[in-house]
Amino acid sequence: MTAQLVLVWCEIPVTDLEKSAAFYAKVLGFKTVRDDTGPNPMINLTDDLTAIAGHLYPGTPAAYGGNTVHLAISDTLEEGMKRCEAAGGQVVSPAIEIPPGRFAYAKDLDGNSIGLFEPPAA
C-alpha cells in the first residue's frame, strides 16, 4: 500500500447547476458551496474548498451516466499526458490551471473520462 494521494476529486456534469446543487445538498445532508475561481462555475460537494471531494459543473451528462474521475500523477502533467497517449489513451484538453493545481482531460482505453492532476509544487 502507498500513502500517496491517488483520488483527487470527481466531477458530475449537470444541466441546471443551482437545481442540482440543492438536490445534492439535500441528498447528501451537508452544505455545498459555489466556487467561481476556475474556468467554469462549480458547486463543491463540501464547504471546504481545500478538501478532497467532488463537484458539480455545468455540462452535458454522458448518455451512459459516466463521471470524470481525476487522478493524481507522480510527476509533471506534461509527462502524464505523454504517458497516457503512449499507453493508448487520448488527451482531449490542454493543461488547465485551477487554484489547487493543474489538470488535463483524457480518455482511457474504453473511452472513460479521466482527469490527470498535478498539484502545485511544494
Residue pLDDT, tens place only, 54-107: 889 998 887 766 788 888 888 899 999 999 999 999 999 999 999 889 999 998
| Closest residue by Cα to residue 96 from 40, 17, 35 | 40
For residue 36, what is its C-alpha cell?
A: 467561481
pTM beyond 0.75: the answer is no
Q: Is the pLDDT of residue 122 over 90?
A: no
Q: What is the pLDDT of residue 49?
A: 75
Q: What is the pLDDT of residue 81?
A: 95
| Closest residue by Cα to residue 115 from 73, 55, 60 | 73
d(CA 64, CA 71): 21
Q: Is the pLDDT of residue 42 over 60?
A: yes
Estimate to the nearest angstrom the gap between the alpha carbon of 113 and the chain centroid: 10
Give me the phi and psi of 82, to 5 degrees please.
-65, -45
